[in-house]
C-alpha cells in the first residue's frame, strides 16, 4: 500500500487480526460515524472483501484525507487533491475507484481517459465547486479582460476548460508565482486566493467570491478559545480557512501538507487542527503519540464536510461489484480541462 506521505495501518490481510479495541472504534467522531466496538468485526470483514474485489477487478482505490476512517483504511492511496490527481494519472489499473468528491473523480478521468473511473456515490458533490459555473466564469472573464485565470481544482471540468491553469491548496502559491503575467483572476475560493495574494504581493489578484462552507464557518474567536485551553499547541490550518484563522496559524498547508507539518515540530506534543475532522484520524494514525485537537474545540460538530461523508464501505463494495458510478467527461471539454490540469502538474508543490 502506498501513501503520499506516510504509511497508516492497512486493512487487507491484517484486517481479521484487529480487535474491538483498535483505533477505529476508539476514534472520537460525531455519533453517526462512530464505529461501535460490537461492529468492528463486520467492518474488518467488509474491508477484507473490498480488498479482494479490488484485486480481482484490477482496481486501485484512491481516497481523500477527509474520507470516513474506515474508508481511509481500505485505500491503496490516501492523499490530498494534488497527490490523488498525480496517482490517477500514473496508474495502470483498469479501474480507479475514487473515494472523494465528484470534481476529484472527474479530474482523475480527465487525466487518465483510458481508465474506468468510479465514484461510489453520486451525492458526493462539492458546494465550492458548484459556486462557479462556466457561465459565471465567462462573465468574470469579460469583466476582467487581460487577466490570467487560475482555478482551484475544486471546480467542474467546464470551468477548468475555460481557465488558464489549475491549482490545489498544495501548490497554489507556486502556480501563481510561475505565471509571467501579473493580472490574475483567482477562482473560486476567496480565502485560498487571499492567502496566495498575501504571499505574492507583486501580482494583482482579483478574487472570485466562493468559499468552502466547512472551513469558512470557523472563526478566529473559536480558535482563540482552543488555544487558551492548549497554550503550547502548534496551530495548523488549511488555506480555505478565513483570514482571522490563518493569522493565528503556525502552519498553513494542504491536508497532506499537515502530515509533513507535524514532523517539523518534533518538540510539540499537541496540535490544533483547523480543517475537516477526518484529517485528525489520518494524523493520529501517523503520529499515535501526539495529541490532535479540533480548532473549533468540538470534533466534527462544525468542521464537517457532508459531501466527503457520502461514501461508506458498502458503497465502495457496490462500486466494485457493479461498476458504478462511472464518470464520463465530454472529450472536447476534457481536452480543455486537461490542458489546465497538466499545466498545473508541471509546477512543483509549495515549499
Ligand atoms: P486538499 O487538496 O488540501 O486535500 O483539500 C481539498 C479540499 O477540498 C479541502 O476542502
Find the 41 Cα to ligand 1 centroid distance in Å.
Answer: 31
Find the 170 Cα to ligand 1 centroid distance in Å.
Answer: 9
> Per-residue pLDDT for 89 more than 80?
yes
- Of 22-31, 92-101, 253-262, the poorest mean pLDDT is in 22-31
The reply to whether 20 and 85 lie within a common domain is yes
For residue 64, give Cα distances in angstroms to 32, 33, 190, 206, 302: 20, 17, 22, 29, 19
**What percentage of residues in the chain have a pLDDT greater than 90?**
87
- For 129-136, the CB contacts below 8 A with 24+ separation are 129/101, 129/102, 129/103, 129/154, 129/155, 129/156, 129/159, 129/188, 131/188, 131/210, 131/211, 132/156, 132/159, 132/187, 132/188, 132/208, 132/210, 133/158, 133/159, 134/158, 134/159, 134/161, 134/162
> Per-residue pLDDT for 279 more than 70?
yes
Residue 157, preceding peptide bond in cis (omega within 30° of 0): no
Residue 118's H or E segment, with its range, is: strand 116-118
> Per-residue pLDDT for 1 more than 50?
no
The pLDDT assigned to 33 comes to 72
The reply to whether 134 and 101 lie within a common domain is no
Place 320 in a pLDDT band, splitting at 50, 70 and 90. Answer: very high
Find the 37 Cα to ligand 1 centroid distance in Å.
Answer: 30
pTM: 0.93
Which of 168, 239, 246 for a ligand 1 pocket mutation test, highest count of atoms within 8 Å of Cβ? Answer: 168
The predicted model gives 252-269 an average pLDDT of 98
The pLDDT assigned to 31 comes to 62
Q: What share of residues in the chain are helix, strand, coil (percent, to 5)? A: 45, 15, 40
> Per-residue pLDDT for 127 more than 80?
yes
Cell for 237? Answer: 490550518
The reply to whether 37 and 120 lie within a common domain is yes
The reply to whether 104 and 92 lie within a common domain is yes
Residue 261 falls within a domain, yes or no?
A: yes
The reply to whether 187 and 200 lie within a common domain is yes
The reply to whether 77 and 111 lie within a common domain is yes
The pLDDT assigned to 18 comes to 37
The reply to whether 103 and 142 lie within a common domain is no
Surface-to-core class of residue 174, CB atoms within 10 Å of its CB (0-12 exposed, 13-18 middle, 19+ buried): middle
Q: What is the CATH number of the domain that holds 336?
A: 3.40.50.10800
CB atoms within 10 A of CB 136: 15
The predicted model gives 59-76 an average pLDDT of 97
Q: Name the CA radius of gyration of the chain, rounded.
A: 20
Residue 7 falls within a domain, yes or no?
A: no
DSSP 133-147: -HHHHHHHHHHSTTP
The pLDDT assigned to 306 comes to 94
* Polymer length in residues for the chain: 351
> 207 has which bridge partners?
186
Place 35 in a pLDDT band, splitting at 50, 70 and 90. Answer: confident
The reply to whether 63 and 147 lie within a common domain is no
The pLDDT assigned to 284 comes to 94
The pLDDT tens digits of the residues spanning 134-183 come to 999 999 999 999 999 999 999 999 999 999 999 999 999 999 999 999 99
The pLDDT assigned to 13 comes to 32
Residue 91 falls within a domain, yes or no?
A: yes
Find the 16 Cα to ligand 1 centroid distance in Å.
Answer: 32
CB within 8 Å of 277: residues ≥ 6 apart: 29, 30, 294, 299, 300, 303, 304
Place 297 in a pLDDT band, splitting at 50, 70 and 90. Answer: confident
Cell for 210? Answer: 466562493
Residue nearest (by alpha carbon) to ligand 1 atom 2: 81
How many domains are contained in the chain?
3
Residue 312 falls within a domain, yes or no?
A: yes
Residue 198 falls within a domain, yes or no?
A: yes
Residue 350 falls within a domain, yes or no?
A: no
> Per-residue pLDDT for 5 more than 60?
no
The pLDDT assigned to 131 comes to 98
Rounded to whole angstroms, how far apart are CA atoms 328 and 298?
A: 39
Pocket flag, ligand 1, residue 169 (CB < 6 Å): yes
> 291 has which bridge partners?
270
| Domain interval for residue 92 | 12-125+307-322
The pLDDT assigned to 248 comes to 98
The reply to whether 250 and 336 lie within a common domain is no
The pLDDT tens digits of the residues spanning 175-225 come to 999 999 999 999 999 999 999 999 999 999 999 999 999 999 999 999 999
> Per-residue pLDDT for 12 more than 60?
no
Rounded to whole angstroms, how far apart are CA atoms 292 and 281?
A: 9
> Per-residue pLDDT for 11 more than 80?
no
The reply to whether 133 and 160 lie within a common domain is yes
Cell for 63? Answer: 481516497
Pocket flag, ligand 1, residue 29 (CB < 6 Å): no
Residue 205's H or E segment, with its range, is: strand 204-207
Rounded to whole angstroms, how far apart are CA atoms 237 and 244?
A: 11
If we measure between CA atoms, which residue out of 294, 197, 285 comes closest to residue 3?
285
> Per-residue pLDDT for 17 more than 50?
no
CB 245 within 8 Å of CB 274: yes
The reply to whether 35 and 119 lie within a common domain is yes
The reply to whether 81 and 51 lie within a common domain is yes
> In the predicted model, what is the mean pLDDT of the chain?
92
Residue 351 falls within a domain, yes or no?
A: no
**CA neighbours within 13 Å on the CB side: how many for 252?**
22
Residue 3 falls within a domain, yes or no?
A: no
Place 24 in a pLDDT band, splitting at 50, 70 and 90. Answer: confident
Amino acid at each position: 500500500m502506498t501513501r503520499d506521505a506516510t504509511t497508516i495501518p492497512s486493512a487487507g490481510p491484517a484486517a481479521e487480526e484487529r480487535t474491538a479495541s483498535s483505533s477505529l472504534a476508539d476514534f472520537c467522531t460525531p455519533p453517526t460515524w462512530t464505529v461501535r466496538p460490537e461492529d468492528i468485526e463486520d467492518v474488518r470483514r467488509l474491508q477484507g472483501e473490498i480488498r479482494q474485489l479490488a484485486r480481482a477487478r484490477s482496481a486501485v482505490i484512491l481516497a481523500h484525507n477527509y474520507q470516513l476512517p474506515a474508508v481511509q483504511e481500505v485505500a491503496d492511496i490516501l492523499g490530498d487533491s494534488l497527490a490523488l490527481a498525480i496517482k490517477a494519472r500514473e496508474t495502470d489499473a483498469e479501474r480507479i475507484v475514487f473515494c472523494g468528491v465528484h470534481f476529484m473523480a472527474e479530474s482523475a478521468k480527465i487525466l487518465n481517459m483510458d481508465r474506468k473511473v468510479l465514484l461510489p456515490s453520486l451525492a458526493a458533490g462539492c458546494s465550492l465547486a458548484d459556486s462557479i459555473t462556466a457561465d459565471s466564469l465567462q462573465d468574470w472573464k469579460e469583466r476582467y479582460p487581460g487577466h490570467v485565470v487560475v482555478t482551484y481544482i475544486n471546480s467542474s471540468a467546464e470551468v477548468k476548460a475555460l481557465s488558464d491553469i489549475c491549482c490545489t491548496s498544495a501548490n497554489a502559491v507556486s502556480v501563481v508565482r510561475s505565471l509571467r503575467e501579473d493580472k490574475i483572476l483567482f477562482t473560486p475560493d476567496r480565502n485560498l486566493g487571499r492567502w496566495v495574494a498575501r504571499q505574492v504581493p507583486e501580482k494583482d489578484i482579483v478574487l472570485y467570491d466562493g468559499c468552502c462552507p466547512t472551513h469558512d464557518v470557523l472563526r478566529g474567536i473559536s480558535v482563540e478559545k482552543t488555544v487558551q485551553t492548549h497554550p503550547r499547541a502548534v496551530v495548523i490550518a488549511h488555506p480555505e480557512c478565513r483570514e482571522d484563522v490563518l493569522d493565528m496559524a503556525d502552519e498553513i498547508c494542504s491536508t497532506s501538507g499537515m502530515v509533513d507539518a507535524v514532523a517539523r515540530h518534533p518538540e510539540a506534543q499537541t496540535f490544533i487542527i483547523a480543517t475537516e475532522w477526518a484529517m485528525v484520524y489520518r494524523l493520529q494514525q501517523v503520529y499515535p503519540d501526539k495529541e490532535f485537537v479540533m480548532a473549533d474545540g468540538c470534533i466534527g460538530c462544525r468542521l464537517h464536510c457532508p459531501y466527503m461523508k457520502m461514501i461508506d464501505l458498502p458503497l465502495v463494495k457496490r462500486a466494485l461489484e457493479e461498476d458504478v458510478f462511472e464518470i464520463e467527461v465530454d472529450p472536447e471539454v476534457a481536452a480543455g480541462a486537461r490542458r489546465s490540469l497538466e499545466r498545473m502538474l508541471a509546477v512543483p508543490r509549495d515549499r
